[in-house]
Amino acid sequence: MSTQQTTAPAPQQSSPTLRSVAGATYFPIAFVARFPFAMMVVGTLTLVVSARDSIALGGLNSAVVGLGSALVGPLLGAAADRIGQRPVVLVSGIVNSLALLAMAAVAFSALPDAAVLAVGFLIGASSPQIGPLSRSRLVQLILTRLPSHRRAKSLNGTMGYESAADETAFVFGPVVVGLLATTLSPAAPMIGAAVLTLLFVTAFALHPTAKVAAPTTEEPVAQAPARELFTLPVVVVVAGALGVGLFFGTVLTSLTAFLSDTGHGDSAGLVYGVMGVGSTILALSITLFPERFRLYARWLTFSSLMLAAMLAFGLAGGLTGLIAAMAVAGIGIGPTVVTLYSLAAERSPQGRSATVMTMLGSATIVGQSAASAVTGAVAESSGSQASMWLPVGAAALVVLAALVNALACRTPAGTEISAADEDVLEEARRLTELPSEHL
């Protein structure tokens, strides 16, 4: 009598997810680490105006912070592409936290205004742009650690999450600044940002995922020449990010000025936060959009919605109209930011993903800085009602860039990343290849 032995089938291993390969602590660390970057423009403006009693100097200092970020931010991205994120983020984070503390001291000192501006430039120049670097790091994880059939959906979902995280920081960062400044002291936002930088930016730099974006000599990868960073398809996306920064700066400053004039100044942060709600929901829902709703069409559609909302913003005569306009603006801005970074990932030259991502981050912050300064000056000289039309110009720039993208940079149908297109997914791998050559 023979007995038939049956072997139980081996349990199928579930496919890894981005959360499992990144680790449970990655996303909370990367989220909180963005807040100092979002706080620095408004925080320095609040501090300098309070300490030096000069709105003009405060606005100029905000512009200088943005200038430092615009000039040095892309260089930090290029350094991260070349030597890895960990040393770049560690050094810039330490320098930035010291600069933030220095601003809290220098602003109230007897040193000349030039010293305040110099520290402001250092704050902008050393600011670790966690959002762009996180995108670059996660794209590398997706394209190297996840199975090919899951990469396309993960890429879309990741861009949506990252944009929602950035949006949340940019919307609520100024709210945190206001709360700290009013409840503690004008220097509190700078000290708080310095502490957050020292703790969470350092944790981001030391996180194990930083090794994924570190250069290796085992299989040297050629790096595209720097001139490819200035092609029209890349530049038009950077122009869109600049418009987004101008949008944030003009909206926040003009909204604050108008509500202060009408006796509702305390509600400025809450009204501004309305935009963040719709923006976050739409950004996180980006994976639900059908594939045929292509990136160029998304940019045109949602930036046009931003423009319409800002026309209503300029015409609003009271709190109810402002809240409605901000709600519609949130629906437009979230998908627009997601689309910009998706296009940036798609068009990054070989080995320069972090560079392109930081170019977008720098463009956003310089736009916010310049807009805050200009809008504040307009509100002071011509009245808050006049300043409320400046967001229309910012939204119009985003629409104009979308038009240029649709007409001159549009990719043929079927070439965007899709789950059914394995060749394109392999081509996307080049986005996060790390360079072996110098700039």
For residue 398 the two structure tokens come to 């985003």
pLDDT of the residue at 374 = 86
SS3 letters for the chain? CCCCCCCCCCCCCCCCCHHHHHCCCHHHHHHHCCHHHHHHHHHHHHHHHHHHCCHHHHHHHHHHHHHHHHHHHHHHHHHHHHHCHHHHHHHHHHHHHHHHHHHHHHCCCCCCHHHHHHHHHHHHHHCCCHHHHHHHHHHHHHHHHCCHHHHHHHHHHHHHHHHHHHHHHHHHHHHHHHHHHHHCCCCHHHHHHHHHHHHHHHHHHHCHHHHHHCCCCCCCECCCCHHHHHCHHHHHHHHHHHHHHHHHHHHHHHHHHHHHHCCCHHHHHHHHHHHHHHHHHHHHCHHHCCCCCCHHHHHHHHHHHHHHHHHHHHHCCCHHHHHHHHHHHHHHHHHHHHHHHHHHHHHCCCCCHHHHHHHHHHHHHHHHHHHHHHHHHHHHHHCHHHHCCHHHHHHHHHHHHHHHHHHHCCCCCCCCCCCCCHHHHHHHHHHHCCECCCC
Rounded to 10 deg, the angle between the 130-145 and 55-83 helix axes is 20
Within a 13 Å sphere around the CA of 369, how many CA atoms are in the beta-carbon half?
30
pLDDT of the residue at 233 = 82
Please give the Cα distance from 414 to 109 (Å, whole number). Answer: 60
pLDDT of the residue at 350 = 67
**Ranges in the chain, pLDDT < 50:** 1-12, 217, 219-220, 414-439
pLDDT of the residue at 226 = 61
pLDDT of the residue at 433 = 39
Which top CATH class is 25-432? mainly alpha
Based on C-alpha coordinates, what's the Rg of the chain? 22
pLDDT of the residue at 213 = 56
| 302: helix, strand or coil | helix
Please give the Cα distance from 329 to 306 (Å, whole number). Answer: 5
Q: What is the pLDDT of residues 342-354, one digit of tens each?
A: 888 777 776 677 6
For residue 223 the two structure tokens come to 């790096």
H helix or E strand, kind and range, residue 206? helix 202-206
pLDDT of the residue at 287 = 67
pLDDT of the residue at 306 = 93
